[in-house]
Amino acid sequence: MSDYSSEEDSASEWVMYKDKPEWADIKPIPQDEGPNPIICIAYSDKYKDVNDYLRALLHKNEISERALGLTKEAIYLNPANYTVWQYRRQLLKALNQDLQQELIFINDIIQSTSKNYQVWHHRQVIVELMKDGSKEKPFTEEIIAIDAKHYHAWQHRQWAMKEFGLWDDELSYVEKLLEDDIRNNSAWNQRYFVVKHTTGFSDPEIMKREIKYTLDAIAKAAHNESPWSYLRGLLGAKLGDEAVVKFCKELLKSGCISPHLMAFLVDVAEEEMESQPAARPALLQEAARLLDDLANEHDTIRRNYYEFIGQNLKAKYGSPGATGDCPS
């Protein structure tokens, strides 16, 4: 169980709420473990004291400054307690509290327990109430600088950008992250998110730019799945872009052994088999060779998958006159 040092702790020795005269009117409510608890958690005396009084205030739905202070103590002890956060938000609104100060408080809590969903949700609600998202990009950048793939930070950042239209310079920020680590899948996801919600992909020049950017990244790290996923997202159901296919075939010819490259070319071959019936025998043979190499040499952990794909392609596009077999 977490036990953060609160402001009150730092100022003086902890005094139990049951020993504070100003709380004498409250009868604490202990946690009900039932008549025969299977496991009794060994809560600290401090934890039990704070939460027993918190339950009492919740029971009577007290709206007061002291209740607000108690929620802070409870949060220091367990920042993942949803009920405490919900009660705190109720108090903040009813008491018309300074939300700037609340933002400072939640900053500190997030820095201490950043993987906790409840703290990010609380921050989102506070920012919504303030109607000001100007601090959200700088704040999330601090978290991302420590953990470049921090799910909650990225999720919160995307929410703030959509909510407040914070799109300026975001593509540059993403490109800087990808310069630092071309394998940063979160940054690739953010790139797609930004383009989708700003220019979109319908403009041929935008598509050309994004394809070039992605192929350049693949050329640097062909075994990195992220740009391959991004490329598939760009091309959608039509993978057979002339420039992309040429790039991939040249990359394979150069000796690049990347399962992502080979699987992509299998999908391109299937697409071409659908549109070019006359070329099916040769395309099926090429797909079979790639699938055999994947299944038996370069990605053996997915052997059953590649064999399944090969059998399906042969069943769908094979003929008595076709040459070559798919892996079996």
Catalytic residues: 115
The whole-angstrom separation of Cα 314 and Cα 327 is: 10
The whole-angstrom separation of Cα 160 and Cα 173 is: 16
Residue with tokens 């990347």: 258
Residue among 145, 143, 146 nearest 155 (CA):
143
Residue among 87, 15, 78, 68 nearest 47 (CA):
78
Both structure tokens of 213: 């950017």
The whole-angstrom separation of Cα 137 and Cα 24 is: 45
The whole-angstrom separation of Cα 197 and Cα 213 is: 18
Instruction: Tell me if 322 sits within 8 A of 310, measured CB to CB.
Output: no
What would you report as the CA-atom Rg of the chain, rounded to the nearest whole angstrom? 29
The whole-angstrom separation of Cα 56 and Cα 294 is: 63
Q: 299 φ, ψ to 5°?
A: -150, 55
Q: What is the DSSP string of 240-256?
A: --HHHHHHHHHHHHTT-
Residue with tokens 């052997």: 303
The whole-angstrom separation of Cα 50 and Cα 28 is: 9
